[in-house]
Amino acid sequence: MFICYETTTGSDLAENLQNALRKRGIVSFVAKPDLRKHIREMKTWKANRDEALKTAHTFILILSFEELTSSEIIYEFKFAIWRNKRDSTFSIIIAHDKIIPRTQQEILSSMGIDTAEFPQIDFDTKEKLARIISSRLNDDGTVREPRSKYAIPENIEFKEEFSSVLTIVTRLLEKSDGRGPPTKEVESSINKLVMLFKKQIDNWDFTAVEFATKELFMKLYKFTENDYYLELYSIFKDLFERAHSVNLRIVGTMINAFNEILLESWIPKYDVEKGEEAARVLLRLGIDFLKRDHSVTRVCAMSINDLAMEMYEPQILSKEIILATCAHEMVEVKPEMKDFVDELVDLIQSNDQLASEQAHRYTYLTKSIDYAHAEQGDYGINITNFEEQFLYPRLKENINANIEDYVNFLTEFEIEDRDSVTSATYDLIDLITVYESVCPNIAFEIGRLVSQMSVKSIEEMFNHMVEGSKFLTKIYRGSEMLSTFDELIRFLEVNSDSENIGVGMKTWGFTTIKFARKLSREEQRNLETLAQKHGILYGADFKLDSEEMMFTVDFLAYPNKSAYDVGKLVAFLKDVNNTVSIASYSTGIDIGLRKLSEKNVSK
């Protein structure tokens, strides 16, 4: 059994229920005591929580609070509903504290979750809660009576017609490769889909609306990539507006369908592309409703956050950053937005903390900020002010916490296993490479804290780590290792065979420059202009997308088709380096060497 509760008001209720069930031999999961045990065992709490959600026979939601603000509770309940729809043996019971108004049900209803579908009980003491729940369970934790099945008639005729038209649309898109202006046939078919969908909205057919929302997205989202002309949200925008004009619960039903799509992009199959496209639809919906209905925007934000706190993918968290930026820009006009912005900033920081603690993904927030920069033009915003005012201060808090955790880890590590330093070395390299762009002195700050501990064995281990890594030796001791693009350019200047005497380095062939982050369309255009300035034309000798640039180095290094001239290449690379951040550089290299003496190879 999985017991879901709010920590400040429901811990005693949940733990008392767990103890009562334990006496019957029924195993249950309660976050506070159970996760503390898993953390001691060095397991990730999220993995254990999710495993409990996947394997429980029954889900108990204890409503002991008035305002439903916990993203964890919302996530766990959505997960339970997702299982409930797919597993006939899995049951949900909702327990209400009698003295608490049922405002939580209104909030859940706005998300498209009808609590009336599930068995409900009322209680006024923790003992009564335990008695009622225990009386409804078999010894294996299953519910004694089969879960209630409401006979909601399926609109078979609508499903068949909608699916048929949707199949026509997808075939037309596949036939045209999805590129170019939409044909009249495609437009006509999409219009028919929208008309069928709107009819179900007007009829308040929640089941049909949920079906149509998922089918429409799942069949069409693949046609929104790259050069495909289909703008999925333009279709959904019309439908969401119709739903909002009819009944807010219908909007909630549609968003709940997207919640399931988001969850299914994480389990059972990990599909970042699907998750990002669904998050993008909710982002645009949230932005559109900022001025009209803040409650819709908040539900969209929480749905995006649910996935961001599970997948740790910058494509997802960046959508939350963009939505928070849009909300921040409205604070002067609508001061009530400030609390919403603060809530989102807290969630963004929390997601970054979880990624660091649970998955050692120190890059989560920094890469998400970069991704948001690349996409900000699509939403007509600039995140720089929001980034500097809110995100960087929170990022620095997380960095300081990670540094402190790392130094404390060295203390525990030295005690438990002073011979093996591999894990600690890679963690140190990760911290430095990820954060030095934000905190340039991070390596020396860590070194200073280690020295301040004044523990000889730890200092010796730290020095051993530094001396055992070429990268750390470069950082702490100084070496000739190339670690920045500026150093690479200087290396080319110093070591190239500029005199064409057969001694030194020459580069040739295709060169690939991978960018440190995804580039915006404007940044790509700037690089195209830069290449043209250096005489490189788009085509066989030059290719560019949002993640990398490829060009034939011979065009720059061999301007006269014979003599090698590194000057033009260096000038181009310097301009590129001043325009974008570069992650890697690969090219063909020949190195001519001097012959200082004859080697006698005879035996």
Q: What is the pLDDT of residues 391-442, one digit of tens each?
A: 999 999 999 999 998 888 887 765 455 556 788 898 899 999 989 988 899 9
Between β-strands 504-515 and 548-552, what pairing exists: parallel, antiparallel or unpaired? antiparallel
- Note the pLDDT of residue 305: 93
* Band of residue 192 on the pLDDT scale cut at 50, 70, 90: very high
- Note the pLDDT of residue 43: 45
User: Collapsing DSSP states into helix, strand and coil, what is residue 407?
Assistant: helix
* Band of residue 546 on the pLDDT scale cut at 50, 70, 90: confident
Q: What is the pLDDT of residues 455-512, one digit of tens each?
A: 888 888 889 899 989 999 999 998 888 888 899 999 988 998 887 888 888 888 889 9
Burial class (CB in 10 A: 0-12, 13-18, 19+), 372: buried
* Band of residue 515 on the pLDDT scale cut at 50, 70, 90: very high
Angle, helix 45-55 to helix 31-40, in steps of 10 degrees: 130
State whether the Cα torsion 93-96-97-103 is positive or negative.
positive
What is the pTM (predicted TM-score) of this model? 0.76
Burial class (CB in 10 A: 0-12, 13-18, 19+), 394: middle
Per-residue pLDDT for 38 more than 60?
no
Per-residue pLDDT for 578 more than 70?
yes
* Band of residue 226 on the pLDDT scale cut at 50, 70, 90: very low
Burial 95-112 (b: 16+ CB within 10 A, else e): bbbeeeeeebbebbbbbb
Beta strands in 137-275 (DSSP E): none
Q: What is the pLDDT of residues 319-368, one digit of tens each?
A: 999 999 999 999 988 888 999 999 999 999 999 998 988 788 888 999 99
Specify the higher pLDDT residue, 162 or 231. 162
Per-residue pLDDT for 42 more than 70?
no
Q: What is the pLDDT of residues 63-96, one digit of tens each?
A: 888 777 677 888 888 888 888 877 778 899 999 8
